[in-house]
Structure 1
Amino acid sequence: MDDSDKKFEWENPEIIGINKLDPHNTLIPFDDEESCFDARKNSPYYKSLNGIWKFNWVRRPVDREVDFYKKDFIDKNWDDIDVPSNWQMRGYGIPIYTNIKYPYSIDTENIPAINHENNPVGSYRKKFDLPKNWKDREIFIHFDGVKSAFYLWLNGEKVGYSQGSMTPAEFNITEFIKDKDNIIAAEVYRWSDGSYLEDQDMWRFSGIFRDVYIYSTPKIHLRDFFLNSRLDENFENGILSIKLKIRNYSDKEILNSNLKVLLLKDISSLKSPIIKIEKEINLEKKSEIILKLSSEIKNPQLWSAENPNLYYVIFSLSNSKNELIESEANRIGFRSVELNSKGELLINGKSVILKGVNRHEHDPDNGRTVSFDLMEKDIQIIKQNNINAIRTSHYPNHPDFYDLCDEYGIYVIDECNLETHGLRDKIPNSEMKWEKACCDRMIRMVERDKNHPCVIIWSLGNEAGFGDVFNKMKKAALEIDYTRPIHYEGDYYNEITDIISYMYYPPRTIKMTAKRNLKKEEERPIMLCEYAHAMGNSLGNFQEYMDLFEKYSNLIGGFIWDFVDQGLRKFSEDGKEYWAYGGDFGDEPNDKNFCINGIVLPDRKPNPSLYEVKKVYQGIKIIPIDLSDYKFEIINKYQFKSLDFVNMKWELTRNGKLIQEGLIDKTIIGPSEKTQIKIPIRNIEEKEFSEYFLKITSFLSDDCLWAQKGHIIAWDQFKLPISSESIIKEMDDVYPKINLQNSDETILLIGDNFKLTIDKSSGLIEELYYNRKRILTKSLKPNFWRVPIDNDIGFADEDLEDFKTTNIDYSWKEASEKTEIIELSTENSNPGLTKIFTKFKVPNSDKPMEIIYNIFGDGSIVIINSFTPNKEMIRFGMQTELSSEYNKMTWYGRGPHETMWDRKLGASIGIYSGLIEDLVHNYVRPQENGNRSDIRWCKLTNEQNEGILIKDMGGTYLNISAWPYSMEDLELATHIHELPIRENITLNIDYKQKGVGGDLPGLPSTHKNYQLKKHENYEYSFLIKPFFKE
């Protein structure tokens, strides 16, 4: 059968459903009021159809089993598939990752056509029985998410059709269902005209990927309700306005029935509710009525992300005999959302900064199918790291997610499932044929999620252009709910959006914009719906954004792009696990690793950037008043809660070692208040060559929903003004004599338990032995190169002409390889000290690089390195290799995690240690990693605690990293499983490497103050000496 010329519903944007019911809030009836407090899935009138279904997959619609829906169809030879799931993650077809370009099956030259030769179809069948207690009730089937379009049959009868994959599709199946042996059949199409509206930057999956269930209701049923729980003008009392839809499905008139509404805090107050409203109900047969009720609530506990206080509303319908027909419940929170004339976002009358993150629904093993446990884990991670807001980029999430956000306390921007990035200049625009689909997507989101206090802003979509369709979408949303502002970043001229929204504005630009808007008295707030692009080793200068958010009233915050690396778990032929990205499945087109932008890895382990986020977003700030007298000010940046939920401690260290500590007396510091304290430090015995740090830490005083007692939520650290710096001392009468052997090829220096060789042809230390063991297995050479991070490489796309650029200056890689010795001399006037002076010709410099080796008789080597580049430099350091036995690193500096020049605020100064294999960070795409900043000293030791000590000698502090592989290995690898474990350890001893940036999506954006500038002289010095077991 050739159907290539036939037009189907899935190619007609004006057909978005057949027999699909109108949307409503998520609800399930119960038998009694007490049971309403239980999870909806525990209702006797809920039956899950999740589980194993029979499944058949074909590449083309013409190849599908057209009669599969019939009851007598034999499916025993079909495969089994678990529902919910994405069929690509179960071996049927391949996932496609593309950012902007539409997959080839979507015929963008012939909108809204779909390529019939490449539109896979999944046919699903499942057999089930009806629960016995469902007799004489209305039966509904509910699909929480199917991508991208599907037809539905029950017992051989066609039920309907649906598209719009991220909101529920629901059908009344009462007339089709039987008591036993029901056969449900669903025919799912990978691509449809709806796919034109779903061009989000994400993996393209298909299938029944969210829950499927049936539920039953009595013939008179509370079908929908909207709980508008706003506050009075003083933000003290609540006003509960309720709009209800009650439907009579029967052929009989319903008279003298009763509706009862209860508001209560929990099940214990069921007999003594806060309010009780009763209303007589009369319904014509086959009819629906709309009721509006309201009541004032005195001094309710208000909901916010900081204090997510929730109440229950119980609805009960009874018949004329006062027999209970059904009960339904919903949690609500009393809170208000407003925008004021200062451009502030007000929650309950208080200005709030959105410390947000964008979040895709992503499971590395199941694709877009995300379990309840994983949703909850995500929210716990988010709360533990001081994030208070989520943008559901770029579609409504699973319904359970909003319940969790209500409970845990997260502000949510709920975003409509609309993105046409690759065609945003064409659709939807103002075309009438797309209006119905776009408005339907908006309406279904708002209707489903309208009762969630966590949802504070509705978003019309993402990167879908602009036109009259968006006016219609906003109007449709406001007809349902006028209490929340409307956001749309694509409204570039700010015609309809209530919030002025930008993506990837650097701090200087957002600062200018804020000042300009305040000057011209623009009342709308400014928000960064995407910022701080966290692709790979990124998220530099993050604190600069928060400083601006706190300074300018009309900057209400932003949302990091994004939460989780969208990598998929895959295994190499030899069984090694790795994270796959675009192109790894043979998918074309693809955008490679541009889906890897998370502050956590696919398995939710932290990327180093997460620690920076936690620090910058923290809600407690300590600032010094008088460091010499140990006086500080504690600022409570929370808007709604006092600091009685935390304890505070202080720790004083000398050179990284704890010498004093104590608890800070608990003081009630109210929301947005501050107080001064004095730390009771006892007399400090000042010692030469010492520095002192005071760290003040705030931690949970009790267990809470998202973390255990003792969880650290904030800290600040201060260097006290009582330190003295170390210096190089030449002590002629202390060091043992050095035996210097000078040949044509080498300079050999032999001393007390050490031997060092310098190659005259290179001017570099080639060998270093301590205690007859070779420590350095490769020359200690200058290094100006780093393995390119994602922001170095950049992202270029034909649809992003402004972003096209040649990003990496490979001349610095050549400079590392082509450095030539031009001068070498020795000075050994002191028998215990030999100085070797070298000069090198280095590409990219008009002046020679100078390296001075100060070699002492005990094996200590002080190296002084100075260089003036004539172009911006990537790195200034030295690199060598050590035997792999020296695989433990201990350091005094920032830690314990990886830090970079412009991303190190989240790491405190201390003494840390770990195995080299644990100190690298396995970014999904291998790149420069493992750096530790501000290092005073570092030891690399073996199991016998012997090795080398490296120490900063110039006061600039060092940046050090060590890898169990070579730099070449790291640069050649495209996935982590390709990295070998070598016999030697690569050691980098750096002055600095330039910052990582992160203002722009996968593009160079390092700020000037984190650049190694041209024509500036850079000098640093460090000591290498043997370290033996103490």
Structure 2
Amino acid sequence: MHEALRPAAVPYYEDPSPGSGALPPRAWWSTSDARYVSLNGAWRFRLSETADAHGDDFARPEFDATRWDLLPVPAHWPLQGHGSPAYTNVVYPFPVDPPRVPTENPTGDHRRSFDLPDDWPGGAALLRFDGVESCARVWLNGAELGTFKGSRLPVEFEVGELLRPRGNVLAVRVHQWSSGSYLEDQDMWWLPGIFREVTLIERPEGSVADFFVHADYDHVTGAGTLRVDCEPGGSVSVPELGLDLATGESATVPVEPWSAEIPRLYDAELATEGERIPLRVGFRTVAVEDGVFKVNGRRILLRGVNRHEFHPDHGRVLDLETMRQDLVLMKRHNINAVRTSHYPPHPAFLDLCDELGMWIVDECDLETHGFEVIGWRGNPVDDERWTPALLDRAARMVERDKNHPSVVMWSLGNECGTGRGLSAMASWIRDRDPDRPIHYEGDPSCADTDVYSRMYADHAEVALIGRRTELPLPDAESDAKRRSLPFILCEYAHAMGNGPGGLSEYQRLFETHERCQGGFVWEWIDHGLRQRTRAGVEFFAYGGDFGEELHDGNFVCDGLVFPDRTPSPGLIEYKKVIEPVRIDGDGAAGIVRVTNGYDFADLSPLSFRWTYEVEGDAVDSGDLEVPALAPGATAELKLPRVPGGGSGTPAGEGEAWWTVRAALADDTGWAPAGHEVAWGQFAAAASTTTAPRTSAASTSAAPTSAAPTEAPHTKTPRRAEGGVVLLGPGTFDAATGALRYLDHFQIAGAPRLDVWRAPTDNDAGSGRHPDLQLDRRWREAGLHRMRHRLDGVAIGADALTVTTRVAPAAGDIGLRTVFTWTATDDRLRLTVDVTPEGDWTVPLPRIGLRLGVCGSLDGVEWFGGGPGEAYPDTRAASRIGRYTSTVDALQTPYVRPQENGARADVRWVRLRREDGQGLLITGDPDFWFAARRWTGEQLDTAEHTYDLTPSETIWLNLDHGQQGIGSGSCGPGALPQHWLTAAPATFSFTFGALETT
């Protein structure tokens, strides 16, 4: 071959090996008496379009980079004005040709000059990078240290002999694309850069090279056994336990165990000749026994979330305060477990998990999902050339995180298909750490795992798995093994936009079947990047907003908290569903039942308080003495006598409810005393017909303060001048029967039947289940463009009747609707009868009334479910009460606008303007209520929150029914009992004016 045509050697960034020059991986510790020098701060930075646009001259100490830009480290350069972020879920944003990457390969050259402290002792030292995406080449003072990949894992180099007292120059070349990118196809933004800390660490003679804390707990004897292996040898002391041991030596003493509920840690110190390291030791034992995953001998229930590292301004750059904020929010919402999807988190996060208490499934930095698109051809996890890189990633995870009691399971990675490389990883992990089970979801045979894990299995399948009666595998031996394993939903309940629905039904399955040990909601946070329009309006950007050729839109926004970490209604719902104390009762019998749902803790840290309310007003309240129940135990307690009657007897007119709350009795590390952990609510008497969260059918009266003092007189409709009909306080258009005025309030949009809602992300569904793509099916049926035909207006002796047909163009389905208006002196009552016509093959999005009122009526008060939004399968957290708000505050600002803000089980609602005048609406039966300053159609067309322009009209939805939410954006849709099928319906509303109070 001619020399000029000889293929070039594969460059290091395309070599599938993990890199070169790095030291073996070891445990991570944050402090010791050795010196640490942070190299974070302002670095000089140059971005190139290709990997080889410039030579290596920039690594020379004398190179002049003063004209380069300044870039903070840690940071992602696309979030600092250099290039743009890009989002894909599955597909690679480059040709799939492993291990090759495109010539167009954004490459960032970084330079940092630094001096050593004056008292730096010299000798051995390490340079550590905690996270660089996706491939780096490193020089110190002109000498090349090596190359590495594995973005979310640490790497260290020995640098002691290269250091100078002054004028050290660290140079790092970072490539966005490398062979490592094929292993990092996680569902997230592609964001290159040095995004975790860079640290120089002194290594004195005789300092710790590595150590492994083994702290087991025997739940039968209550004894803990401690052994700390260390290289070189030394000693470990635990003053509280009276222990002073040589490393490698074991001791067994009585201890208090560590758990996520009671995260008991013992302060200890590891000492060698050259270093002292403070430790926090938690004693606990993890095992799979009799097909059940156990900690300290007890089955645990994972109330978990998947957590990506994310900040709306900084991407995957998180400070300690933000990590703690995440954990505090989780703990306050009853979450007890985190799957670190899909890579090990910043190591300081695990320190916090040890401290505050959280079960951790630690997942390797590995995903090759994009190979699924091409039938898994060339998948690196089944290609031996990549096995060293896979083993390197497994080792760097396990060695870094092995000393955390919070880590109770290792995960091989995510969505990688199957292959020999995964088996090699599992074998290495078992050999290194046989005391923790191994998780992986992508292999149905569970050949390499100790748990059976699934994503988005629907409720029916989970029930089968819980009974160990799921469909068998073809291989009998594999089937028998899998059937013997505990079951975990590593992802379920896709929290994208409005939702997820169906959480309560999942939780009942977890509590019913011993094998079903909970799961992890996808996911913790919306990954919206904070941006501003040209007009300065803030919004959160998602896929496609940065001009990406390939992207997956707002699928990157599927969290339980919004990008700014404001809890979404989904998180409030999840907190209620997974609360660790169950409270229910029988108001008629005057009994409340309290069940301890914790795995380890008794109820002594909680205080209980009852409230007795009539029509939403607190009549009486007091403390409830609840015994310190052991886990799983139930107590049945008598409710107190209330003023004006016996136990459970209403003390006044109206609907009465008991609410019992469990709150922290004392401050904790994650919440102050008084923080509500759980609550239960039940009707005070059997005569109360509405049960919250289970039925939308009841008869509701107007609030006592608005009710007439004597029997009302039925009014007769009469024609008047100007082509109007007068009926009680209402003025109607005689030709159309449309309501124009209610008393002196103008009706901007007459009441009409409304069946459309701006589809939610879960309504849109996914390609996995076309029948759950309700958005598409609704539009195909024309439900977004319904036409209203007037068939007749009849004026009777005591009613105004308007008959319409509501139907879409191009089809023969429709809804025959009869509006019957009656009145008293000061109230209008509307009864709506709806009869479906034709063959309806899709559920209705909603069914109810829509009307427009003056925009000044922006003060809202209601009696019913609240305080937040609720839908048929997301209403566990909705409790009956009297609430106040503004119209604007009723809205939920989902990153991509969609149906939101409905309140469930509403008996009555008042809308007021500043002078106190307004409207009163009551429903029969109870109804869903929503109010917004834009129509459902405007909400439907909005792509971002800035697309919603408030109008001078407030649009009210008074709904008799709503379609359930489900989790169809990635998982199952709404359960059948939450579908709104087209069927005959009758419902009524009463309207009246409020006077100034």
TM bracket (short chain): over 0.9
Matches within 5 A, 1:409-808: 409-424=357-372, 425-426=376-377, 427-517=379-469, 522-624=483-585, 626-682=586-642, 683-684=644-645, 686=650, 690-723=654-687, 725-726=699-700, 734-735=712-713, 740-741=718-719, 746-749=723-726, 751=728, 754-758=729-733, 760-761=735-736, 763-765=737-739, 767-770=740-743, 772-774=744-746, 776-796=747-767, 807-808=776-777
Alpha-carbon separation, structure 1, partners of 2:849 and 2:771? 36
Of 194, 199, 215 in structure 1, the residue corresponding to residue 185 of structure 2 is 199
- Change in CA separation of 1:3 and 1:454 when aligned onto 2, cut-off 3 Å: farther
Of 233, 236, 261 in structure 2, the residue corresponding to residue 306 of structure 1 is 261
CA contact (8 A) 2:596 2:632 kept: yes
1:390 corresponds to 2:338: yes
C-alpha deviation, 1:861, in angstroms: 3.0
C-alpha deviation, 1:977, in angstroms: 1.2
Partner in structure 2 of residue 1011 of structure 1: 979
Of 235, 239, 245 in structure 2, the residue corresponding to residue 260 of structure 1 is 235
Of 100, 110, 121 in structure 2, the residue corresponding to residue 113 of structure 1 is 100
Determine helix, strand or coil for the equivalent of 1:292. coil
Please provide the CA RMSD for this pair: 2.5
**Paired residue total:** 957
Alpha-carbon separation, structure 2, partners of 1:970 and 1:157? 59
- Change in CA separation of 1:815 and 1:335 when aligned onto 2, cut-off 3 Å: closer
CA contact (8 A) 1:415 1:459 kept: yes
1:9 corresponds to 2:12: yes
1:849 corresponds to 2:836: no
- Counterpart of 2:741 in structure 1: which amino acid? L
CA contact (8 A) 1:792 1:1004 kept: no
Alpha-carbon separation, structure 2, partners of 1:643 and 1:915? 38
Partner in structure 1 of residue 136 of structure 2: 150
Determine helix, strand or coil for the equivalent of 1:218. coil
- Change in CA separation of 1:364 and 1:731 when aligned onto 2, cut-off 3 Å: closer
Alpha-carbon separation, structure 2, partners of 1:517 and 1:275? 49
Matches within 5 A, 1:82-231: 82-104=72-94, 107-108=95-96, 110-116=97-103, 118-231=104-217
CA contact (8 A) 1:834 1:856 kept: no
- Change in CA separation of 1:30 and 1:402 when aligned onto 2, cut-off 3 Å: closer
User: Alpha-carbon deviations, 1:475-530, whole Å to 9, x = none?
Assistant: 11112111000000011122121100000011111101221359979321011000
Determine helix, strand or coil for the equivalent of 1:936. strand
Alpha-carbon separation, structure 1, partners of 2:26 and 2:786? 66
Determine helix, strand or coil for the equivalent of 2:153. coil
- Change in CA separation of 1:731 and 1:174 when aligned onto 2, cut-off 3 Å: closer
Alpha-carbon separation, structure 2, partners of 1:568 and 1:223? 40
Alpha-carbon separation, structure 2, partners of 1:416 and 1:517? 31
CA contact (8 A) 1:689 1:723 kept: no
Moved more, 579-588 or 847-856: 847-856
C-alpha deviation, 1:137, in angstroms: 2.5
The TM-score, its normalising length taken from structure 1, stands at 0.89
User: Alpha-carbon deviations, 1:536-574, whole Å to 9, x = none?
Assistant: 001112111110111101011100000000100000011
Determine helix, strand or coil for the equivalent of 1:435. helix
Moved more, 528-537 or 472-481: 472-481
Determine helix, strand or coil for the equivalent of 1:821. strand
Alpha-carbon separation, structure 1, partners of 2:752 and 2:666? 52
- Change in CA separation of 1:274 and 1:1002 when aligned onto 2, cut-off 3 Å: same
C-alpha deviation, 1:399, in angstroms: 0.6
C-alpha deviation, 1:847, in angstroms: 6.5
CA contact (8 A) 1:815 1:842 kept: no
C-alpha deviation, 1:967, in angstroms: 2.2
Alpha-carbon separation, structure 2, partners of 1:722 and 1:689? 15
Determine helix, strand or coil for the equivalent of 2:535. coil
User: Alpha-carbon deviations, 1:301-337, whole Å to 9, x = none?
Assistant: 100000000113312223xxxxxx3212221200011
1:337 corresponds to 2:337: no
User: Alpha-carbon deviations, 1:117-147, whole Å to 9, x = none?
Assistant: x101111111111123332421110000000
User: Alpha-carbon deviations, 1:700-725, whole Å to 9, x = none?
Assistant: 11111000111100000001334365
Alpha-carbon separation, structure 2, partners of 1:826 and 1:688? 41
Alpha-carbon separation, structure 1, partners of 2:654 and 2:640? 21
C-alpha deviation, 1:934, in angstroms: 0.4
C-alpha deviation, 1:755, in angstroms: 4.3
Is there any run of 5+ residues in structure 1 with no aligned partner, and where? 32-42, 247-257, 266-272, 279-290, 319-324
Determine helix, strand or coil for the equivalent of 1:703. coil
Alpha-carbon separation, structure 1, partners of 2:295 and 2:289? 11
Determine helix, strand or coil for the equivalent of 1:132. coil
User: Alpha-carbon deviations, 1:743-795, whole Å to 9, x = none?
Assistant: 8x9542165xx44113534x433x1142x342x11121110100111112223
C-alpha deviation, 1:414, in angstroms: 0.2
Matches within 5 A, 1:973-992: 973-992=942-961
- Change in CA separation of 1:824 and 1:482 when aligned onto 2, cut-off 3 Å: same
- Change in CA separation of 1:152 and 1:847 when aligned onto 2, cut-off 3 Å: closer
- Change in CA separation of 1:846 and 1:565 when aligned onto 2, cut-off 3 Å: closer
User: Alpha-carbon deviations, 1:629-671, whole Å to 9, x = none?
Assistant: 2112211111211111111111111121111211112522223
CA contact (8 A) 1:375 1:401 kept: yes
CA contact (8 A) 2:525 2:558 kept: yes
Alpha-carbon separation, structure 2, partners of 1:54 and 1:131? 21
Alpha-carbon separation, structure 2, partners of 1:727 and 1:180? 82
Partner in structure 2 of residue 34 of structure 1: none
CA contact (8 A) 1:28 1:215 kept: no
- Counterpart of 2:946 in structure 1: which amino acid? H
The TM-score, its normalising length taken from structure 2, stands at 0.92
Partner in structure 1 of residue 805 of structure 2: 840
Partner in structure 1 of residue 908 of structure 2: 937
CA contact (8 A) 1:262 1:314 kept: yes
C-alpha deviation, 1:259, in angstroms: 2.3
1:1029 corresponds to 2:996: yes
Alpha-carbon separation, structure 2, partners of 1:237 and 1:467? 41
Over 6 Å off, 4+ runs: 1-4, 518-521, 727-733, 800-806
Alpha-carbon separation, structure 1, partners of 2:600 and 2:462? 27
Partner in structure 2 of residue 321 of structure 1: none
Is there any run of 5+ residues in structure 2 with no aligned partner, and where? 473-479, 689-698
- Change in CA separation of 1:906 and 1:592 when aligned onto 2, cut-off 3 Å: same
- Counterpart of 1:674 in structure 2: which amino acid? T
1:405 corresponds to 2:353: yes
Query: What's the % identity of the aligned pairs?
Result: 33
CA contact (8 A) 1:566 1:602 kept: yes
Partner in structure 2 of residue 51 of structure 1: 41
Alpha-carbon separation, structure 2, partners of 1:733 and 1:263? 79
- Counterpart of 1:824 in structure 2: which amino acid? V
C-alpha deviation, 1:29, in angstroms: 6.6
Alpha-carbon separation, structure 2, partners of 1:941 and 1:451? 59
Alpha-carbon separation, structure 1, partners of 2:922 and 2:589? 31
Alpha-carbon separation, structure 2, partners of 1:993 and 1:806? 14
CA contact (8 A) 1:868 1:1018 kept: no
- Counterpart of 1:316 in structure 2: which amino acid? A
Partner in structure 1 of residue 831 of structure 2: 863
Partner in structure 1 of residue 250 of structure 2: 294
- Change in CA separation of 1:884 and 1:233 when aligned onto 2, cut-off 3 Å: closer
C-alpha deviation, 1:30, in angstroms: 3.7
C-alpha deviation, 1:805, in angstroms: 8.6
- Counterpart of 2:202 in structure 1: which amino acid? S
Matches within 5 A, 1:890-905: 890-905=861-876
